[in-house]
């Protein structure tokens, strides 16, 4: 509803009928009583009144205010009855207290799809200290049903779920406010990796505007049940959160696999067969490619979850989880020049973020030539497709445009300006641009590869008939053109559209005519003030009249061997 609404709601008593005037967002709860009869169930209705309307779905949470704000038992306050943890002293919000609530979900058309009693508690780790907090919301049989009979997630086909996380974007709170969801979807859209789906919503808490929060799948046994069909007693679901822990089952089988791998001659071909018998190799390689390329530094000693079906031949899979620290969240620590391969294989660290026990499996696997070559080939293919800067920036724009209309109100609620948000989005784009060149050189140096590339062009004659995978990367537009390091292996796998079948590959030679585009010693415009010049500095119509000018090749005065990260040309 937009504008001020007058709602005529019947309020029945023995003597009168009243009219209730509502001129601001309000949640109304009603119950009928009659002497000698059991009272009716409580009916809940939220009336959203906004001058500009909302393009996003709306989630309304109504609950006893004391369960939120009371100093003794309120879950949203520092309070006087808390415990230490999650980067803070004793706080009520560190308690795992569940509180009764009523959840209403209105889709983007304003149609109410869910109205259900549920439990709510505070979620997250250190992000609990932000003023807007993540909430874990669960349907409960004690309230009538243990499921929400609605699919909240655009990339899932499930008709119901047991609960979800209403996330404050974690450590990305009030920055881009979509970093983790974007990083997970970017990688999983083209690679076989488990990920947590995302739906941004506008939240009202007891009728008060609460800004944008992200409905996310919860990485628990319900996730495995909803997406793979295995029940809690049919799986091992493990995590690393500073230390090894178990969500369901135990580490016994994985530790047995890892201990034997450590004892084998890992240079032999049969060792790869042993690895392949125990883990989903292709999914694991894609997972490692994503975590390393996207620069997640709150990992692998934290935010790791892996699972397997407890059956003969059941293989371990890893899933993306909490990638707030990716894409340069903290400049200088998680920046585009973070040496992810070195970081993920360090053997001399004892604590967060990459203690030796958390890097052991990847270190052992890389010692096998077959596994190592698969990883190299997958990383190169990903860099030339899903992680290619233009491709990354298109998805950044898609995620940003989804919430852009709500950002002014969100910033007014939680601080900052829309311009702050636009700057944070531009930082994602700068990371995408800088990361590509750095990771290519990092791969060459880490694996001792030759710095020589060859072009590869693969085209489907008619895109309607299907597309293909390149080294297990799903090609989206039925065409690939890029450059791969000389000596790389290329594996192509056709994916036929419904009603078509693959016929054959046709090989053709590529010819090139060399020409000089920019002469050596040409004059360049450059900006090296240590900040981003403007969010649209790379667009053709951007004016660089105020930039400095010099002749190629441009180099920093302090470091003549490399162009500095704060320079733009």
- Over the chain (569 residues), the average pLDDT of each successive run of 10 is 40 55 81 86 81 90 97 98 97 98 95 97 97 98 96 93 97 98 97 98 96 97 95 97 96 98 97 98 98 97 98 97 94 80 97 97 98 97 96 97 97 97 95 94 95 92 94 92 90 95 85 68 77 66 82 50 44
Res 548: pLDDT: 85
Residues 84 and 131 sit within 8 Å (Cβ to Cβ): no
CB 23 within 8 A of CB 48: no
pLDDT reported for residue 278 = 98
Phi, psi (degrees; rounded to nearest 5) at 186: -55, -50
Beta bridge partners of 135: 122, 166
Locate the DSSP E strands across 39-186.
43-47, 58-62, 83-85, 88-91, 99-106, 112-122, 135-138, 163-167
Q: What is the CA radius of gyration of the chain?
A: 27
Rounded Cα–Cα distance for residues 93 and 86 (Å) = 10
Name the β-bridge partners of 482: 456
Question: Would you tell me how many other CB atoms lie within 10 Å of the CB of residue 260?
Answer: 12
- Cβ neighbours for 525, distance < 8 A, ≥ 6 positions apart: 544, 547, 548, 549, 569
Task: State both tokens at 245.
Answer: 């822990």
Query: What residues have CB less than 8 Å from 559, skipping those under 6 apart?
Result: none
Interior/surface letters 521-552, b for 16+ CB within 10 angstroms, e for the rest: eeeeeebbeeeebebebeeeeeebeebeeeee
Model pLDDT, residue 529: 72
Query: What are residue 58's DSSP bridge partners?
Result: 106, 202
pLDDT value of residue 281: 98
**DSSP of 423-485:** HHHHHHHHHHHHHHHHHHHHHHHHHT--S-EEEEEEE-SSGGGEEEEETTEE-SSSEEEEEEE
One-letter-per-residue 3-state SS of 339-362? CHHHHHCCCCCCCCCCCHHHHHHH
């Amino acid at each position: 509803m937009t504008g001020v609404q007058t709602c005529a709601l019947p309020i029945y008593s023995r003597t009168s009928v009243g009219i209730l005037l509502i001129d601001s967002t309000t949640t109304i709860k009603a119950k009928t009583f009659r002497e000698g009869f059991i009272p009716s169930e409580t009916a809940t209705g939220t009336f959203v009144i906004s001058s500009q309307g909302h393009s996003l779905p709306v989630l309304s949470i109504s609950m006893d205010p004391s369960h939120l704000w009371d100093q003794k038992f309120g879950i949203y306050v520092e309070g006087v009855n808390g415990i230490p943890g999650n980067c803070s002293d004793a706080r009520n919000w560190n308690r795992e207290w569940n509180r009764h609530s009523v959840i209403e979900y209105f889709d983007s058309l304003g149609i109410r799809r869910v109205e259900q009693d549920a439990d709510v508690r505070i979620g997250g780790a250190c992000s609990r200290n932000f003023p807007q907090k993540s909430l874990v919301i669960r349907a409960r049989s004690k309230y009538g049903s243990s499921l929400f009979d609605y699919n909240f997630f655009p990339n899932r086909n499930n008709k119901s779920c047991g609960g979800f996380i209403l996330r404050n974007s974690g450590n990305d709170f009030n920055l881009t406010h979509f970093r983790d969801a974007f990083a997970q979807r970017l990688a999983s859209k083209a690679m076989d990796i488990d990920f947590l789906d995302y739906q941004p919503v506008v939240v009202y808490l007891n009728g008060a505007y609460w800004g944008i929060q992200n409905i996310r799948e919860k990485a628990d046994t319900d996730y495995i049940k909803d997406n793979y069909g295995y029940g809690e007693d049919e799986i091992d679901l493990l995590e690393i959160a500073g230390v090894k822990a178990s969500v369901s089952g135990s580490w016994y089988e994985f530790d047995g696999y890892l201990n034997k791998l450590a004892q084998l001659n890992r240079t032999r071909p049969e060792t790869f067969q042993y690895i392949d018998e125990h883990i989903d190799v292709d999914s694991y390689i894609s997972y490692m490619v994503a975590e390393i390329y996207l620069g997640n530094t709150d990992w692998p000693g934290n935010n790791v979850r892996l699972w397997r079906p407890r059956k003969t031949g059941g293989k371990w899979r890893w899933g993306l989880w909490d990638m707030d620290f990716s894409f340069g969240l903290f400049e200088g620590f998680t920046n585009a020049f973070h040496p992810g391969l070195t970081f993920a294989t360090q053997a001399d660290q004892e604590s967060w973020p990459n203690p030796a026990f958390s890097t052991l499996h990847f270190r052992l696997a890389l010692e096998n030539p077959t596994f190592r070559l698969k990883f190299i080939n997958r990383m190169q293919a990903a860099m030339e497709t899903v992680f290619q800067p233009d491709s990354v920036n298109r998805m950044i724009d898609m995620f940003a445009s989804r919430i852009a209309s709500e950002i002014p109100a969100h910033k007014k609620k939680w601080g900052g300006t829309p311009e702050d948000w636009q700057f944070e989005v531009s930082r994602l784009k700068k990371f995408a641009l800088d990361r590509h060149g750095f990771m290519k050189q990092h791969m060459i140096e880490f694996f001792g590869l030759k710095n020589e590339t060859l072009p590869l062009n693969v085209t489907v004659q008619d895109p309607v008939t299907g597309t293909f995978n390149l080294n297990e990367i799903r090609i989206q537009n039925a065409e690939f053109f890029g450059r791969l390091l000389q000596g790389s292996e290329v594996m192509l796998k056709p994916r036929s559209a419904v009603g078509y079948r693959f016929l054959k590959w046709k090989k053709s030679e590529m010819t090139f005519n060399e020409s000089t585009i920019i002469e050596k010693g040409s004059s360049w415009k450059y900006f090296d003030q240590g900040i981003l010049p403007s969010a649209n500095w790379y667009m053709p119509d951007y004016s660089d009249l105020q930039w400095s000018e010099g002749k190629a090749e441009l180099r920093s005065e302090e470091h003549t061997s490399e162009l500095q990260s704060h320079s733009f040309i």
